[in-house]
Every structure is written in C-alpha cells, then in structure tokens.
Amino acid sequence: MENNMDFCKGEHCDARKMAKLKTEVLSVEETTKLSEIFKAMGDETRIKIMHALVKQELCVCELTELVRMSQSAVSHQLRVLRNLRLVKRRKEGKQVYYSLDDEHIVNIFTQGLEHIRHD
C-alpha cells in the first residue's frame, strides 16, 4: 500500500538554509494582518465588490445594484474592506466613491483571478 503522506525524518535538513529562513519568519502581527486580509477576501460578496472596483471607482448605490444587496449590507462589506485597507473612499460633495486601495490590492486580486482562469 502506497503512503501518500509527506514525511521527513529531518536528516536531510540544510542547517544554513534553515537558519536563514528562521531569521525571515513573519512576526505575529504580520501573520495576523495577512490572515485577516485573506479571510476578508474569502467572502463571495466582498469578492464581487472588489471585482467591480478593479474595473472602476463606484458609489454604494452602484455597488448595491451590482451585487443585488441592500445598501446597509453593502456598506457593511465596504467597512470591512476599508478597515483592512483593501478599499478606499473619496467624497465628492455628498457622494462617496470607492476604489481598491492601491496597486498591490489590484495585483493580488487580478493575479488570483488569472490563476483560477489559467488552464
């Protein structure tokens, strides 16, 4: 019977490689923040919102129509995304427009999409 589990006795570990990697381990704060970002991006509604915002800046009412949810529900999702700096807002008079926060977020989103579309 074939064993499909990954297994290592540790006898092949490169001590120098491991020492270098140990100095580059993420901090608890970095791990937590990155985990929160990926959790937020794991929600289907937020993915729909972010996909729309990759294309262009939109207001809450436009996003409400696109994702077919109430304005309060969309506002809640935008607040989650904004708190994690995934989206930003811009006021123009009484109107508030949302867009992805920066090129890093655009790249994460578009590269993820390209990854799943790549056959």
Q: Cα(43)–Cα(77) distance, rounded to whole angstroms?
A: 9
The model's pLDDT over 40-62, given as tens digits with 9 standing for 90+, comes to: 999 999 999 999 999 999 999 99
**What number of other Cβ atoms are within 10 A of residue 107's Cβ?**
11
26: in domain: no
Model pTM?
Answer: 0.82
- Using CA atoms, how far residue 117 sits from 25, 71, 110, 112, 114, in Å, is 31, 31, 10, 9, 5
Least confident piece of the model among 7-21, 26-40, 52-66? 7-21
87: in domain: yes
Residue 106 maps to which CATH number? Answer: 1.10.10.10
The model's pLDDT over 81-100, given as tens digits with 9 standing for 90+, comes to: 999 999 999 999 999 999 99
Write out the residue range of the structural domain in which residue 97 sits.
Answer: 57-119
